[in-house]
Amino acid sequence: MRNYYSKSFAILFALLFFDLTVCAQKSFALKDYFLNDVGDEWQYKNLAPDGLSPIITKVAATENFGGKTVLRRTENNGDYRLQTLDAKGLTVYRLYFVGDRFIEYDAPILLMPARLQLGETHKSAAKYKTTVGGETKETGTQTYETVAEKIEDADTPLGRFKNCLVVRTVALRVDASGSQKGYELVEWHAKGVGAVKVAGELFWKNKAGDVTRRFKINAELEKATIRGKSVKAK
């Protein structure tokens, strides 16, 4: 009996030590939490009152952009973005929206560095232009602020994902008139899986800074395939 309890205590201590070690960790490799291999796919249940459900994102293919090989990350509404995830971090090159609308930057934007520090905010900015059918419709400045806030478990339709890295992103485009468009998102990223839960909102503001429109975002992972294998909560 004593041996049984000794083993049980040892196992409990090991699990507790593991959790405390993760919680005490202050630095995280971006590539462990943001997956970016061709074929990786995530399906989310949309819990917001409006919008498409399910929401499906996929790293669909590689392509050439300005002489550089980048990855196309698609959504099932027809939108996509071109990005890379390498030794520098997560870099965004171009955004596309249905209706032949592109957002182009004067230089690629480093959205997040290759290593995230808890509590440390990363800021990036670039000039942008919006084109529709090849015609420039809008110009201005794009900014991003991202911060890894904490480690937290996340409950989803696929199960509970433990020790997720919680990242908050605030994106803002300010056009030449002073009008603003942007979003604030909180994402729970599970190691080896990617985003398992997303909450936040899209917003539009006039040049006085008053919010003229909001669109809620609330989605949870219900299915995913990473590197050819179906994901399970752990």
Distances (CA, A) of 219 to 10, 16, 134, 186: 38, 30, 33, 11
Whole-model pTM? 0.87
Q: 170, 191, 227, 231: which is closest to 18 by C-alpha?
A: 191
**Nearest CA to 33 among 73, 74, 89?**
89
* Number of domains the chain is built from: 1
Question: What are the CA-CA distances from residue 12 to residues 17, 60, 116, 161, 225 (Å)?
Answer: 8, 42, 30, 19, 31
Are 30 and 90 contacting, i.e. CB atoms less than 8 angstroms apart?
yes
| pLDDT computed for residue 52 by the predictor | 85
Chunked mean pLDDT (size 10), the chain, 234 residues: 42 40 74 96 93 93 96 97 97 96 96 96 97 95 97 97 98 95 97 97 91 94 96 83
Give residue 207's pLDDT: 87
Q: Which pLDDT does position 185 carry in this prediction?
A: 97
**What is the C-alpha to C-alpha distance for residues 105 and 141, in angstroms, rounded to an integer?**
9
Domain span at residue 162? 2-230
C-alpha distances (whole Å) from 207 to each of 127, 141, 175, 181, 190 are 18, 14, 9, 11, 38
Question: CA-based angle 76:86:141, to the nearest 5?
Answer: 65
Looking up tokens 């309890």 gives 5
Question: What per-residue confidence (pLDDT) applies to 24?
Answer: 57
Q: In whole angstroms, give the CA distance from residue 111 to residue 88.
A: 10
pLDDT at residue 232, rounded to an integer: 86
CA distance 151 to 156: 16
Assign residue 198 the CATH number of its domain. Answer: 2.40.360
